[in-house]
Amino acid sequence: ISEPDNMATRASPESHEGDIDLGPELKPPEAQRFKNDILGGVGVAPKPIVLFGEGNFTFTIALASIRDDWSSGKISPDYGIKATCWHVERPEFADARKEAEEYCIVNGEKMGLSTKDIRINTTKVSKVCNFSDTWQDGVTALKVAKDLVAGKVVWFQCPWSDTSSRTTAVLIQCFMKHMAKKQDIDNILVIGISTHEDYIEKYKLENILGERPGETVIYGYKYLGYDKNIIKLILQRGYKHVGYKEMHEKIIATHLTLVFRREDDVSDPTKIMDRLEGLDKKMDGLGLKEKAKAKP
């Protein structure tokens, strides 16, 4: 695999990440931990991961090929990946893998990879074994069982909603609130976004990052920073972005991942009113409020 720092990938002129305060890029030790969690490493198996937002399962297959390649730790036959989609039918594995192989070439050429590296990536993807029996369709990211995500990394790739009842920004916020009830403390949550000018404003990132990104726990999560590298590796291995419409060619150079860690609710100011309300009800139930009023 070519390290992304050495790639000839060019920043898109339509990338507007500079206009949005995304906070710090992941730095050691969080950057290494994130890399180990997602890809594995020397003597380290990657963490189990649950993917939301699949459109064609090329992301899933690309990630599986990298995990199999990078991790010298023990990895399960399903690559430790549970992939889900909502509005599309689960494809045949052979069809999804073939599309990923094709996009190893398409993406590789756009990213300036050598013919040799493109061939290596295509070969690696072609060797991914069928693990589609673990894929799930018809799964909504806002209604999942706790045992699906607890103790695992959760990755929502390019969340999007074009309905009048729920904007993309609201979808992201609801997703984080829901996952905070399901994930364990210290679990990692990842949101893959595009910094393309047509989409970046739709996320309303200030609502999940805060005025000073990384300093405040919001919706149960602390923002650790963003990562540009792993998504490039996934693109090298044939990820083709697809959503409500074909837009891969438009945003291939503007993918970014935001990384969060589940924190104790005690440190989350958005939970203060909930805790006070709960305490108030508990005092009512015990009759303590009336006793307090009766004191001279």
Mean pLDDT of 202-206: 96
What is the pLDDT at residue 6?
39
As a whole number of angstroms, the distance between CA 267 and CA 289 comes to 26
Confidence at residue 74, expressed as pLDDT on a 0 to 100 scale: 80
Same domain, 209 and 244: yes
Which residues, in sequence order, are CB contacts of 268 under 8 Å at separation 6+? 217, 218, 219, 220
Q: Which letter does DSSP use for residue 91 in this model? A: P
Provide the domain count of the chain.
2
* Residues 280 and 137 occupy one common structural domain: no
CATH number for the domain harbouring residue 120: 3.40.50.150
Residue-range definition of the domain harbouring residue 41 = 4-263
Confidence of residue 286 (pLDDT cuts 50, 70, 90): low
> pLDDT tens across 148-163, in order?
999 999 999 999 997 8
Token code pair at residue 70: 């990078």
On whether both 273 and 175 belong to a single domain, the answer is no
Write down the mean pLDDT value for the chain.
88
pLDDT of residue 282: 61
Q: Does 142 share its domain with 98?
A: yes
- Residues 160, 275: one domain? no
Chain segment 232-281, per-residue pLDDT in tens: 999 999 999 987 677 898 889 999 999 999 998 765 655 555 555 655 66
34 touches 227 (CB < 8 A): yes
- The answer to whether residues 291 and 171 belong to one domain is no
Residue 26 has pLDDT above 90, yes or no: yes
Q: Are residues 257 and 165 both part of a single domain?
A: yes
Nearest to 121, CA basis, from 11, 251, 235, 257 = 235
Residue 14 has pLDDT above 60, yes or no: no
Flag the least confident range among 4-8, 193-197, 228-232, 270-274: 4-8
**One domain for residues 203 and 107:** yes
Confidence check: pLDDT of 32 > 60: yes
Across the range 85-106, mean pLDDT stands at: 95
Residue 29 has pLDDT above 60, yes or no: yes
- Same domain membership, residue 27 and residue 168: yes
* Tokens 């050598």 found at: 114
Share of the chain above pLDDT 90, in %: 70
Region of 272 (left: φ > 0; alpha: ψ -120 to 50; beta: rest) is alpha
The pLDDT score that the predictor gives to residue 119 is: 99
d(C-alpha 263, C-alpha 188), whole Å: 10
Number of helices (H), then strands (E), belonging to the chain: the values are 11, 7
Instruction: Tell me the C-alpha distance between 204 and 23, whole Å.
Output: 14
CB-based contacts of 161-168 (< 8 A; 24+ apart in sequence)? 162/244, 167/202, 167/204, 168/202, 168/203
- Domain co-membership, 241 together with 276: no
276 and 168 in one domain? no
- Is residue 282 domain-shared with residue 242, that is, in the same domain? no
Predicted pLDDT of residue 72: 80
The upper half-sphere exposure of residue 55, i.e. CA atoms within 13 Å in the direction of its Cβ, equals: 16
Would the pTM of this model clear 0.75, i.e. be above it? yes
